[in-house]
């Protein structure tokens, strides 16, 4: 059995190279695709639920909120900043994980764990939930590429049917990673 050394939260506190962060993002997308392929929805994708091995390969953990999509109820679960707006209406599906990945990807691209500035005013969970329901999302940081920002904004779209399929997200991140490798070796 592989040994998972730390969670993504701890790793990002120490800063990681861009290519390593994109590889981690790919691992998370692949893990979500696997879960969704089994008909499961994780419902709590966040930094502390992504563990890394010694080679910084990621695994999704904490399947405590994971449920078969057909058994979804109106239960409100998850971590506030990562929660899709539709979780508050009780009608949701696997796209809540796509939304949460968009937020996770913001942290991955920011290479840090600081709460997005747009949420600084949120002094409680209730205020944070209210902000999310009203469409508040993390801000674009200056070092985000257009490609990374586009992935984030598509994933956290308020309308679940407008969110991309994870296969598309995977392809986009692979393109970013390949471009990074090409420019690094050139």
CATH assignment of the domain containing 163? 1.10.510.10
pLDDT in tens, 75-121: 555 667 888 888 877 678 999 999 999 999 999 999 999 888 888 88
Give the separation between CA 178 and CA 80, rounded to whole angstroms.
Answer: 33
Average confidence (pLDDT) over 26-32: 98
Tell me the two tokens of residue 133: 């329901």
Q: Is residue 185 part of a domain?
A: no
The string of pLDDT tens digits covering residues 46-59 is 999 999 999 999 99
Annotated active-site residue in 7, 27, 44, 97: 44
Tell me whether residue 184 is in a domain: no
180 is a domain residue:
no
pLDDT score at 5 = 80
Per the domain annotation, does 56 fall within a domain? yes
Residue 156's pLDDT is what?
96
Cα separation, 131 vs 161, in Å, equals: 21
Is 154 among the domain residues? yes
Task: Specify whether 44 is catalytic.
Answer: yes
**Phi/psi zone of residue 121: left (φ > 0), alpha (ψ -120 to 50 degrees), beta?**
alpha
**pLDDT attached to residue 50:** 97
Residue 179 lies in a domain: no
Domain extent at residue 33: 4-168
Beta strands 40-41; 4-7: pairing state? unpaired
Number of domains in the chain: 1
Closest by CA position to 145, among listed 120, 109, 181, 118: 109
145 inside domain:
yes
């Amino acid at each position: 059995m592989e040994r998972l050394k730390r969670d993504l939260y701890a790793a990002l506190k120490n800063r990681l190279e861009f290519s390593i962060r994109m590889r981690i993002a790919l691992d998370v997308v692949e893990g979500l695709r696997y879960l969704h392929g089994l008909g499961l929805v994780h419902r709590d994708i966040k930094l502390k639920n992504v563990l890394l091995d010694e080679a910084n390969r990621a695994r999704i953990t904490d399947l405590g909120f994971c449920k078969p999509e057909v058994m979804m109820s109106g239960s409100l679960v998850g971590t506030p900043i990562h929660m899709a707006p539709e979780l508050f209406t009780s009608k949701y599906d696997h796209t809540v994980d796509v939304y949460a990945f968009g937020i996770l990807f913001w942290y991955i691209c920011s290479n840090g764990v600081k709460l997005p500035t747009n949420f600084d005013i949120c002094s409680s969970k209730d205020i944070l939930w209210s902000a999310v329901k009203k469409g508040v999302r993390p801000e674009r940081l200056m070092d985000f590429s257009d490609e990374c920002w586009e992935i984030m904004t598509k994933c956290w779209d308020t309308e679940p049917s407008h969110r991309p399929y994870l296969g598309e997200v995977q392809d986009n991140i692979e393109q970013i990673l390949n471009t990074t490798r090409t420019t690094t070796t050139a």
